[in-house]
Structures are given as structure tokens and as C-alpha cells.
Structure 1
Amino acid sequence: MSVTPCGFLRTPEKGLARLHWADTGWAVDGRPPDVAALRPLRGLEIEWPAAEVPVDGLLRLAAAGVPLTAERAEPWVPAGLAALVTDRAWLDHAPDGTARSLADLRREEHSVRLRRLAHPALTPKVSIVMSTKRPGFVGAALAQMERQLGVEAEVLLGLHGVAFEEVRAAVEGCSLSVTWVEAAESTPFGEVLNQAAALAGGDYVAKWDDDDWYGPRHLSDLVMALSYAGADVVGTTAEFFYLEPLKATIRRTTFASGAGYPSEVWADHVAGGTILVSRSNFQEIGGFPGLSRAVDLEFLKAAQKAGARTYRTHGLGYVLRRGLSDQHTWQLPLAHFVKVAANQWRGFRPSLLMDAA
């Protein structure tokens, strides 16, 4: 298994430590880097040696999600790495213990950018499966799919009680390959997804919700996590929510019980709108359960029973929309999301990774 960010801590307990060259390799305060021991640190401040040295050790730390920073970079440092480690904007935000603090979020964004640099780039074909009862949401959803970077995407659209004529303009205006099926409104949600997924030709099947927001590297980050973790199923945290009636964005890092809700862990729960699985594993699991509700939860249970391992990666490229509870298959009152919020901001305030490539 490759070096991974598994075990990344959102909130560091200590400050920066010194990363320097010690004759035979990179060292942290005189000792070889131990990723597990580095997790509580805010990051590592690089001190460059005078002569050129290998950067493999730095890339391993980047692959592990350890935040790296430097005031400058030597000319021999690869351009991509140099640009990232000298971008110190994330350090401008000091933790202040308030619900509006951005310190932990900016640090994690920096970590994700380093992971992307360090892990080999793949360009797989991904079959995006989306069921909708809301024709008015289809255009925006397809536009977000078109923005996906690092993958070759095809769209499999399940029209759930919706006639194709209602979405024709959006579909024909999309640059991606879009295949659709029409299902009666009485058809269970999971069955509509399966009818669409049966047409998949990609290496991976990815579930997509019509009313949520996805960053441009959402799919490529999922494929990256599946690869470095060696997982069978991958998804993100359900971490960012936009509460439309309150016009507020919240970020949760715990469950309602108070238990931690970390990313970069093996888990039995991921955000349903972010499930990604290889097409062969999807078929072995038996597809989505033909239910009207709890389709994601039951799919993950079926995956576990089939012996599949599920990994939960970061959720910075995903925002769930929440209106009144009766508008969603996952029915919880808005007060629940306010209660579990570790951070809360006015307006639509997603992670910077929602826009940055």
C-alpha cells in the first residue's frame, strides 16, 4: 500500500516543527520523519540545504497529507512542489476557538493540494449515475459534471417521473455523453438508479445527487483515495451543508452523539451522494437496493456483507443542500445541523477547493 493521509487530524495540537536535511535524508528536529508522530503538528517548516538533495522524502510527506511550508524554494526544487510549499496563505489564519475560525479548514485545503501533487495522476472513465424528480436542477448538475478534471466522465440520467422533453435543453447543451432512462414516479428510487447504472461503460460508477454542489476535482479525488487506500468503495464525509432557509453554511466534524467524524479513515459511513466504486465491484455487490429510501445506507451495508472495504476521504469538495426536511430523502430538521456545527458562516461559504482546480 502506498503512503496515504490515513489518520490525518483536522485540528492540530502543536505548532510547526523544523524539517531539514541531515546528511542522509530529511529529518524532523534531528530524527527521521515518523508520520504518525507528526499528525498532531500544524505542519513542517522546510529548511533547504545549500546543495541539491533528493525531494522524494518531501513527496512522501506530501502524500501522507502532512502540511509542508517554506519561506522560499531553491531553484532545484520541482516547480509544482515549490509553488505549493511557498504558498503560505493558510498560515495567515490563526486558530481562535470560534465557530467562524478558518485555520483548520485552510490547513486541510493545503494538505489536500499536496496530496494531489504527490499521488500519481490517473484519468479513468467514470460513469456518473444521477436520478432526479426535479427537472429544474438538471442543468446545474450537468454543468458541475462538465467541470470535473482528471477523469473522463459519462452521465447516466434516471428521469424519475420526469419526461425527457422537460430536460432536453439541458441534456443537449451538455458537452458530456448523456444517456437517460425514463421511469414512472412510482418506481423505487434505488431501482431508477439501477436502471441508469445498467448502462455504465466506465471503469467506475459514481453516485451524484441533483441538488448538491461538487468541486471540480471531486471525482478525481475519489479515484485517488480509492487507489492510495486500496479500498473497494470510497466516499467523502458529509461535512459541509448549506442551510437554505437560514442562508448559512455549516461544517460538522462530529456526529450528533459527539463522537468524532474524521476523514481519511476506514469507515462504514460515507456521504451517499459521493459513493464511488469500480463497476465490477458494483456488480458484485448487487447494485443499489431497490428501495424508495435509505438506498445509500443499505448499499453500504450490502457492500460490507459482500466483503468490500469502504474508505472515507475528505469532504472539502462537496456541499449538501438542505431546505425543509420534507424536501429530502435524508429527513432531519435544520436544528440538527446547527447543533452539530463545528463552524458556521453566513451565506454560501464552501471550501476554497470547491472552485480552485
Structure 2
Amino acid sequence: MSVTPCGFTRTPEQGLARLRWADGGWAVEGPGREEQELHALRGLEVEWPAEQVPLGGLLRLAAAGIPLTAESAAPWVPAELAALLTDRDWLGHAADGTPRSLADLRREEHSVRLRRLAHPTGRPKISIVMSTKRPGMVGAALARMERQRDVEAEVLLGLHGVAFEQVRAAVEGCSLPVAWVEAEASVPFGEVLNRAAAQASGDYLAKWDDDDWYGPRHLADLFMALSYAGADVVGTTAEFFYLEPLRATIRRTTFASGASYPSEVWADHIAGGTIMLPLPKFQEIGGFPGLPRAVDLEFLKAAQQAGARIYRTHGLGYVLRRGLSDEHTWQLPLAHFLKVAANQWRGFRPSLLMEAA
């Protein structure tokens, strides 16, 4: 397992500290701190030495999720890293304690961008499996899959009580390979997913929900987390919700009980629409349970019973759509989401990492 951002803290308790080159290595100014203690900082301000020095220690901190910044970059710093370090827009947001505050979110977005640079990955072959009862959603869902970067993707479409003719135009207009199966509406949801997943040819299987939004690096970020954590199953937090009847976006960082709901942790709960794992592990677990509801929950239980380790990464590239409770397999009233909201904004206001998906 490589360096990971496990333990990332959304709301820092301390301000910026200085990061300097001293005695042949990068060191944080002040009393000696363990790497995990640095998560309590808002970030580290880099001070460059006059001479060129190795960047490995600095990149290790970026890989650990520590936000790094610099007023300028030394001429020998690679351009991509220099651009990230000198992008200080995130520092312009003050934590004012209001539901509309963006300070913590912008800081975490900056951290994720640095992680991506510090954890380079290849282009994995990923089979995206999606079951739908809503033909009108298929075109938009396929378009979001097409936007995925740094992966080689194929689509496995389960048409649940939907005839192929209803989605033919969307499927034939998709630039990705699409395999599809038709199933009667009476077939359990989990079984439809399994019939679609049986056609997978990728190395990894990723579950996708037809009505949610996914940022263009959603799959690449999942693969990055799977790689650095050494996990068997990975997924994101269910953190951002767009409440359609209210035309509002909320972000939750706690459970309804008030317990913390962190990212970058080993966990038994991940967002069902973001489950990803190696295809052989999926087959070893036995596929999705053939149930009409609670498929994700029961799959994760089965994964744990099979000894799989589950890792929850950041949820900034994923937004769940919520309408009236009877429209979703996960049935909770809108009042529940307002209760758990740490942030609330009018309109569709996802993370910047969604790139206005």
C-alpha cells in the first residue's frame, strides 16, 4: 500500500504552516509533527530553496492529502505542479460557519487535485453496469460515461421493463461500446444488474445510477483510490444531493445520528451508485444479490462476509438526485436530507470537480 490521504480532515483546526527544505529534506516549521497530525492544518505554505532539490518529499505530502500552496514556484518545478501550488483561489474563502460557506469544500478540491498529480495511474479497462427503468434518462447517463477521462470504458446496460427501441437512438449515438440486455419489469433489480454484468470484458466493474451526476474523473478517481489503498472494493461518500422539488443542493458530512461521515477511510458504507471493484472479486463475491431493493447494501454485506476490504474515497465527483421518496430504491423523505445538511445552496451547486456535469 502506498501513501494515502487516509485520515483527511474536512475542517482544519489550525491555520497554514510553512514547509521548508532543511538538512536534506522537506520539513514543517515548528515542533516535530507526525504526518497524520498535518491533517489538522489548513495547509502548508512552500518556501523554495535557492538551489534545485528533490520533490519526492513534497509529493509525498500531496499524496497524503495535505493541501500545499506557494506564492510562486521555483523555475525547476514541473509546470503542472507549479500551476497547482500557485493556484491560491481556495485560500480566498473564509470559514464563517454558515451553511453557504465554501472554505472547506474549496480546500478539499485543492487537495484532490494534488492527490491526482501525486498518484499517477494507468488507463484501466472498466465495465460500467447500469440498470434502468427510465428510458428518458439513458441518453444523459451515457453522455456522462463518455466524458470519463483516463479510463477505457465499456457500458453494460440492463433494460428493466424497457424495450431497446426506446433507447436505440441514445445507444447508437454513444461513442463507447454498449452491450445491453432486456428484462421484464418483474425481474428483481439485482438480477437485471447481474445479467448485464455477465457481459463484462473489462478488468474492473463499476456500478452507475441512471439519474445521478458523475464528474469526468469519477472513475479515474475511484481507480486511484483502489490503487493507493490496496482495497478490494472502493466507492465514494454519498455527500452531495440535488433536491429537485426544492431546487437546492446540500452537502452532508455527518450521518443522521450526528456521527462523522468522513472520506478516505476504511468503511462498511459507500454510495451504491459508485461501487467499483476488480471483476474477479465481483465474481468471487457472487455478484449482486437478486433482490428488488437494498441491492447495494446487501452486496456490501456479502463483500465483507467474503473478506473484502472496502475503502471510501472523496465524494466530490458525484451528486445524487433526489425527488419524491417513492421515485428511488433508497427511500428517504426530503426532510431527512435537510436535517443532515452541513451546507445548503440554491440551485444545482456541485463541487468544482464535477466541471458542471
User: Per the shorter chain, which TM-score range?
Assistant: over 0.9
Alignment of 1:163-202 (within 5 A): 163-202=163-202
Aligned residue for 1:48, secondary structure, equals: coil
TM superposition shift of 1:57: 0.6
Aligned equivalent of 2:270: 270
Select between 115-124 and 206-215 the one with higher mean Cα deviation. 115-124
Q: Is the 8 A contact 1:26 1:32 kept in 2?
A: no
1:231 and 2:231 correspond: yes
Aligned residue for 1:206, secondary structure, equals: strand
TM superposition shift of 1:80: 1.1
Alignment of 1:50-61 (within 5 A): 50-61=50-61
Measure, in 1, the Cα distance between the counterparts of 2:207 and 2:26: 41
Q: Summarize the Cα distance change of 1:183–1:131 in structure 2 as closer, same or farther, 3 Å threshold.
A: same
TM superposition shift of 1:24: 1.1
One-letter amino acid of the structure 2 residue matched with residue 141 of structure 1: A
1:311 and 2:318 correspond: no
Aligned equivalent of 2:113: 113
Mark the runs of 5 or more structure 2 residues left unpaired by the alignment: none
One-letter amino acid of the structure 1 residue matched with residue 93 of structure 2: H
Alignment of 1:26-41 (within 5 A): 26-29=26-29, 34-41=34-41
Q: Summarize the Cα distance change of 1:254–1:109 in structure 2 as closer, same or farther, 3 Å threshold.
A: same
Measure, in 2, the Cα distance between the counterparts of 1:34 and 1:75: 30
Question: TM-score, structure 2 length as denominator?
Answer: 0.99
Aligned residue for 1:154, secondary structure, equals: strand
Which portions of structure 1, spanning 4 or more consecutive aligned residues, are displaced by more than 2 angstroms? 30-34
Measure, in 2, the Cα distance between the counterparts of 1:229 and 1:9: 17
Q: Is the 8 A contact 1:11 1:104 kept in 2?
A: yes
TM superposition shift of 1:356: 7.7
Provide the aligned C-alpha RMSD in A.
1.0
Q: Deviations over 1:214-245 (max 9, x none)?
A: 00000000000000000000000000000000
Alignment of 1:105-184 (within 5 A): 105-184=105-184
Measure, in 2, the Cα distance between the counterparts of 1:238 and 1:145: 19
Q: Is the 8 A contact 1:149 1:220 kept in 2?
A: yes
TM superposition shift of 1:34: 2.6
Measure, in 2, the Cα distance between the counterparts of 1:343 and 1:70: 28
Select between 27-36 and 301-310 the one with higher mean Cα deviation. 27-36
Measure, in 2, the Cα distance between the counterparts of 1:76 and 1:32: 28
Q: Is the 8 A contact 1:157 1:179 kept in 2?
A: yes
Q: Is the 8 A contact 2:350 2:356 kept in 1?
A: no
Q: Is the 8 A contact 1:25 1:32 kept in 2?
A: no
Q: Deviations over 1:245-276 (max 9, x none)?
A: 00000000000000000000000000000000
Aligned equivalent of 1:259: 259
Measure, in 1, the Cα distance between the counterparts of 2:356 and 2:10: 20
One-letter amino acid of the structure 1 residue matched with residue 58 of structure 2: L
Q: Give percent identity, aligned residues only.
A: 82
Aligned residue for 1:129, secondary structure, equals: strand
Aligned equivalent of 2:46: 46
Aligned residues: 357
Aligned equivalent of 1:242: 242
Q: Is the 8 A contact 1:252 1:340 kept in 2?
A: yes
Measure, in 2, the Cα distance between the counterparts of 1:197 and 1:101: 41
TM superposition shift of 1:30: 5.3
Q: Summarize the Cα distance change of 1:356–1:163 in structure 2 as closer, same or farther, 3 Å threshold.
A: closer
Aligned residue for 2:41, secondary structure, equals: coil
Q: Is the 8 A contact 1:26 1:33 kept in 2?
A: no
TM superposition shift of 1:120: 2.0
One-letter amino acid of the structure 2 residue matched with residue 287 of structure 1: G
One-letter amino acid of the structure 1 residue matched with residue 39 of structure 2: R
TM superposition shift of 1:23: 2.5
1:67 and 2:67 correspond: yes
Mark the runs of 5 or more structure 1 residues left unpaired by the alignment: none
Aligned residue for 2:319, secondary structure, equals: strand
Q: Deviations over 1:312-350 (max 9, x none)?
A: 000000000000000000000000000000000000000
TM superposition shift of 1:31: 6.1
